[in-house]
Amino acid sequence: MSELVISLPALRALNELLAADVERGAVLFLRADSVGERYLVREVLPAKEGDYLNASSCEITFAPEFLTRVTRRAREMGFSLAMLHTHPAGFARFSTTDDETELGLADFMHERNPAGETFSVVLCDGHLIARKFGVRDRVSVRVVGEDVMLPLPALEAVADDRYDRQVRAFGEDGQSILSQLTVAIVGLGGTGSVAAQQLAHLGVGTFVLVDSDTVEDTNLNRVVGASEGAVGMSKVAVASNMIRGINPKAGIHSHTGSVISHAALGLLRSTDCVFICTDSHVSRAFLSEFAYQYLIPAFDVGVSITANNGLVEAMTGRTQMLAPGLPCLICSGALNSQRIREELMTDEQRAADPYFNHGGVKQPAVISLNSTMVSMAVTMFLGAFTKVPARGRWQSYDAIRGTVRLFSTKAQADCGVCGTEGISGEGEARELPFLSAEVQ
């Protein structure tokens, strides 16, 4: 089934711009994503007064010149289209007038943009309903931002006593949502393995696991699910076994290799969200842009311990949701350009570079700090996808002081990633950074 995906900021803007006692309209320019027949809203063009022939409380007619202009732009730019109008009278479905109007225009819309798809969308009481133009096949609508509204089918109660205490917390609908989600975890080490454990216990239905590493002796203090017998196994395999031990019904898809690859990208594009649990700045930069470009939210998790001569000087962590309307990792200062440069270098380039830090000093790692930050991220995830009233979307933790700080969650308007002229909804039209590099 086809699906329209729109950012929460774009939906809010439509509700504000088109508020009136008579029907108003807009055009949504869409980027088609071949994975899952998703159509990402890339641009929104509200119709102006001169773009209508008439508008009443129950009917709207777009001017032929307006339709010619927008279909030409769609054809030239490779967009699909969604023709949107409001129902201010509160009629939360397509009307017989809508049916007749679409039938009369269907051939024209197809002939004007034969390579693209055309949809019809109604905005009513702040919500969108959609179908294919002129044929009445319903289309799902997904809204992505600090809150995520999913096009889930009629929710069915999950009849499993293991979730009884969770259902008492966020209801049967919340548990049903979790059971239908596909969640990716990139990095199955100290934080990613904890995320896999917690999400499996919560009842997430399907997992996508991505990691290139195997378990070493030094991982056994913090990789959940790993025992001495797991040394030498891939971290993906260890996480898969743990998830199946917790929830045998969970679906698992895995990629043992770099996330910066077309194989991993294909898996990620079929997910509902991504947990970023890697300490590679290149892969985090890649996934940060992915979240906005494909309108698939992500939760970034990071920890840091500073110790000298056996004395701990700092223990900190951070977690941040990445989605339209929220700042990306560049805006939040979470990426280090020097680290990205170093990670992209070959061994020969590192050896010849006098400024390279000789890579790879082993950093301190403690499971308690990892677990604290993952727990904050998972609660943030619950707040975004269910009715759990957790509003934090960017938090940092100072373990020594015992404090949690909540940061501003407003995207910078001029950012090339998350800003108003950024890459939101570009999908396949733009290649993600570093995609040709096999970075671990």
Domains and CATH numbers, the chain: 3-144 (3.40.140.10), 161-429 (3.40.50.720)
Q: Are 195 and 278 in contact (CB under 8 A)?
A: no
Q: Are 291 and 274 in contact (CB under 8 A)?
A: yes
Give the Cα-Cα-Cα angle 423, 415, 333 (nearest 5 degrees).
115
Give the 3-state secondary structure of residue 367.
helix
Q: What is the pLDDT of residue 157?
A: 58
pTM of this prediction? 0.94
- Give the residue ranges of the chain where pLDDT is below 70: 153-158, 348-361, 436-440
Q: Are 47 and 25 in contact (CB under 8 A)?
A: yes
Q: List pLDDT tens digits, range 229-268.
A: 999 999 999 999 999 999 999 999 999 999 999 999 999 9
Q: What is the pLDDT of residue 439?
A: 47
d(CA 320, CA 118): 35
Q: Are 329 and 318 in contact (CB under 8 A)?
A: no
Q: Are 353 and 176 in contact (CB under 8 A)?
A: no
Strand partners, 256: 211
Q: List pLDDT tens digits, range 336-391.
A: 888 888 888 777 665 665 554 444 567 899 999 999 999 999 999 999 999 999 99
Cα–chain center distance at 428: 15
Q: What is the pLDDT of residue 440?
A: 42
Phi, psi of 192 (to 5 degrees): -65, -35
Contacts of 100 (CB under 8 A, 6+ apart): none
Ordered DSSP codes for 247-302: -TT-EEEEEES-SSSHHHHHHHTT-SEEEE----HHHHHHHHHHHHHTT--EEEEE
In whole angstroms, how far apart are CA 198 and each of 57, 192, 210, 366, 434? 50, 10, 17, 18, 31
Q: What is the pLDDT of residue 200?
A: 98
d(CA 260, CA 251): 23
